[in-house]
Chains A and B, each alone.
Chain A
């Protein structure tokens, strides 16, 4: 029996009338990777945000190594031995790598009120070297590095001082395979040093692989704590959803031929610095997958198809010969796009659900020419929100109130409402829980059967394999392999073309 590191006791937290965490109690041991899972809005992040001082605690206690802690901010949490790696970008632009690593702890390098930058850089560089990230230079501005490298800087920042507990919140969804491997390595190291990791992830195979113990939350309530070795994926899903997840997860069919009818033809598309000479055809009723490392240019391919790339050359042509060179043209010809950056590029955050759904279809929701009909808009929004079963108060609610999964549903309602024939879905299930994921997969399958064509760009290899008729693998801005749908296809054959 291993020693208890953290006791969570009767923890509660409400936001207005929403009870985000309700009377949660459980223990976390030393030297273990303890996964925290649950659907969106189940309270995982709220809980860890209280532990790391981002939110205040309403009631209940955290007892770390026998001592009650209530940090008021992240620096205090660090001093107690608790650190966090967040889902999105956690480094600050405009500061150097070293300044980011020692943010809030600069006093170590200050003598008589003057900061010794050299000592700080030296110390940071030796840490980076120790972690094997020697190619990152401590004195460089953090802005000079890409998303992946900045995540590595965050790993150093969160773990260099041997914290007793490291919280890793949904970090892996934002990382490519390579970055994940790096993170896994660090996780194993921290565990072997006898310290604890609280691991939040939606990726159940990853959770089973990486963690020793798993705690499940549902609607802010504690459900169960289980040993990873004694449960499988279906068992976890059952605990998370509270009932059996029935039906197929991915589409069940194999061996259906792809139609020969081309609906979208991409020829020699180049976006400087991003992709070069990309050519492919999308067929009617086909789900065409794009896989690769996140820097491979695959996300730009989606934008280029939708007419949203800056400085693009080459051509994107529809079956009727229309050239797609701008977003309005794409939308007018029934194309749709969901961005990987959902909050900034897909939903208009501070606007109502209704206006978000109606946005591309406004021309059709009129009473007199040019004059909008409020009742038609309301009816339209309600119809498509209901079709996607968006969880909301009503369509006047602002999108910013919704969880990630529900935001994505709003985006999809918009494009279904606009009767899109060609959908470019970039990371459609990123950071979304199983139930909504399944909904989205089933929706894609239905659309495919109705003759709609889908380009699916994803960093999750399993969903590409499970959903696509054809997968194009990108590497360094070019297509580096084509794989056809087959039951024998596995992740390794995709990875082989990616790296």
Chain B
């Protein structure tokens, strides 16, 4: 009798969890579809017609989100991404006059170097990640303004000629696929989730947590450094506002995609893809409807708050004794 009831409740628990998981994974997709349909109705199908233009801004967000996704899974935050993108874009544009492959590498190296600064202060000096990255955000924002004070930094003509959808899609797909494999099918992903879910226990389970944390910041910087290449071929030159607010865009995109803000084992890789798409559709939709910038930001803020509230990992705070 007692065993019987236990069996039933085991089934129930399994079912309940599967339902919760389904809701969590379907909600962002449903959100994407609904937002897309709503804006198409509001714009009389203009969004559908100009879809390729709208989607062209998704590549940079999606690539950079991949790195930030790793950082957030590990329980960290990175607000310096916009400045990394701006700095790396300047470097890419400058070096592109010499050689394009070299420019790509230089962009990646710039991103990695800034990531290393974040990682050093976060890991070695034990400063909270959001404080460190806000500091580097301001620091490099300042340098970007200094470098672009006289004139925007122009990329070479060769660079701008590369601006094709095929290349951008290929590069984005490559990063996302590599990221997916690393996250889902190597130790890397499980280590990241373990650090996010319980750092001390992860350390006692044999993970070199400090080294991992440092390297993930370097990696996130490097990935965004690569995104800077895509950014540069698209815009061709970098102004003082280059990469402005990209950090918030990435954060909103990931949260819209269902990323728990505290990271951990509930992080899903699909957040990157769905979230970036949802963000781009939302922001370009608001733009096409003809809302003012102020109103757009207000709506984005409300949507962001709602999603954070929905996906906050409250379950792990629940105690049964």
Give me the interface of A with B, judged by CB distance under 8 Å: 15-18, 20, 45-46, 49, 219, 306, 308, 326-328, 330-332, 337, 339, 344-352, 355-356, 358-360, 362-363, 370-372, 374, 393-394, 396-398, 400-401, 403, 414
- Cβ of B9 within 8 Å of any chain A Cβ, yes or no, is yes
Report whether B197 and A349 are in contact in the complex, using a CB–CB cutoff of 8 Å. yes
A327 to B212, CA, bound (A): 14
Give Cα A15–Cα B16 distance, bound, in whole angstroms: 14
B37-62 toward A: CB 8 Å interface, digit per residue (1/0)?
00000000000000000000000000
B126 at the interface (CB under 8 A from A): no
Write out the residue numbers on chain B whose beta carbons fall within 8 Å of the beta carbon of A351.
Answer: 193-194, 197-198, 264-265
A355 to B10, CA, bound (A): 20
In angstroms, Cα B182 to Cα A371, docked, is: 8
Main secondary structure of the interface of A (DSSP, over half): mixed
Instruction: Give the nearest-CB partner of A328 in chain B.
Output: B206
Closest to A242 in B: B2
As a 0/1 sequence over residues 271 to 297 of chain B, the CB contacts with chain A under 8 angstroms (1 = contact) are 000000000000000000000000000
Our pick among B13, B198, B208, B321 for the contact of A344 (Cβ within 8 Å) is B198
Q: Is A348 a contact partner of B185 (Cβ separation < 8 A)?
A: no
Q: A351-B264, A372-B187 are in contact. Are A394 and B197 (CB under 8 A)?
A: no
A15 touches B193 (CB 8 A): no
Alpha-carbon separation in the docked complex, A257 to B203 (Å): 36
* Cross-chain contact B186 with A347 (CB below 8 angstroms): no
**How far is B313's CA from A370's CA once the two chains are assembled, in angstroms?**
31
B-side contacts of A17, CB under 8 Å? 9, 12-13, 16
Contact A371-B185, Cβ < 8 Å, known A344-B200, A350-B197, A350-B198? yes
Beta-carbon contact of A393 and B10 below 8 Å = yes
Q: Does B146 contact A (CB under 8 A)?
A: no
Q: Give the chain B neighbours of A344 by CB distance below 8 A.
A: 198, 200-201
CB pair A359–B197 under 8 Å, yes or no, is no
New contact pairs (9) apart from A350-B264, A372-B190, CB-CB < 8 Å? A17-B16, A20-B321, A344-B198, A348-B197, A349-B198, A360-B206, A372-B185, A398-B316, A414-B205
| B interface majority secondary structure | helix
Chain B positions 123-144 with a Cβ under 8 Å from a chain A Cβ: none
For residue A352, which residues in chain B have a CB less than 8 angstroms away from its CB? Answer: 265
Say whether B198 contacts A347, CB under 8 Å: yes
A237 to chain B, nearest CB (A): 19
List residues of B (21-47) whose CB comes within 8 Å of A's CBs: none
Per-residue CB proximity of B1-23 to A under 8 Å, as 1/0? 01000000110111011000000
CB-defined contacts of B266 to chain A, threshold 8 Å? 350
In contact, B201 and A346 (Cβ under 8 angstroms): yes
CB distance A355 to B190 under 8 Å?
yes
Q: Min CB distance, B149 to chain A, in Å?
A: 47
Residue of B2, B9, B193 touching A18 (CB-CB under 8 A): B9
Contact indicator B187/A348 (Cβ below 8 Å):
no
- Which of B181, B200, B207, B321 contacts A345, CB < 8 Å? B200
B interface residues, tally (CB under 8 Å): 34
Bound complex: CA A348 to CA B14 (Å): 21
Cβ–Cβ contact B205 & A359, under 8 A = yes
CB pair B17 A393 closer than 8 Å: yes
With a cutoff of 8 Å between Cβ atoms, the chain A residues found around residue B197 in the complex are: 348-351
Considering residues A49, A331, A400, A403, which has the most beta carbons from chain B within 10 angstroms of its beta carbon? Answer: A400
Residues of B within 8 A of A20 (CB): 320-321
Bound: A338/B284 CA distance, A: 53
Residue from B13, B16, B197, B204 with most neighbouring chain A CB atoms (10 Å): B204
Contact B13 A346 (CB under 8 A): no
Contact of B206 among A345, A359, A398 (CB under 8 A): A359
Chain B nearest CB from A302 CB (Å) reads 11
B164 to chain A, nearest CB (A): 32
Encoded as 1 (CB less than 8 Å from any A CB) or 0, chain B from 163 to 201 comes to 000000000000000000100011100100110011011
The docked-state distance in angstroms from the alpha carbon of A17 to that of B12 is: 8
- Give the CA-CA distance A360 to B204 in the complex, in Å: 10
CB distance from B194 to the nearest CB of A (A): 5
In Å, the complex CA distance between A347 and B197 comes to 10
Instruction: Return chain B residues, CB-CB under 8 Å to A363.
Output: 187
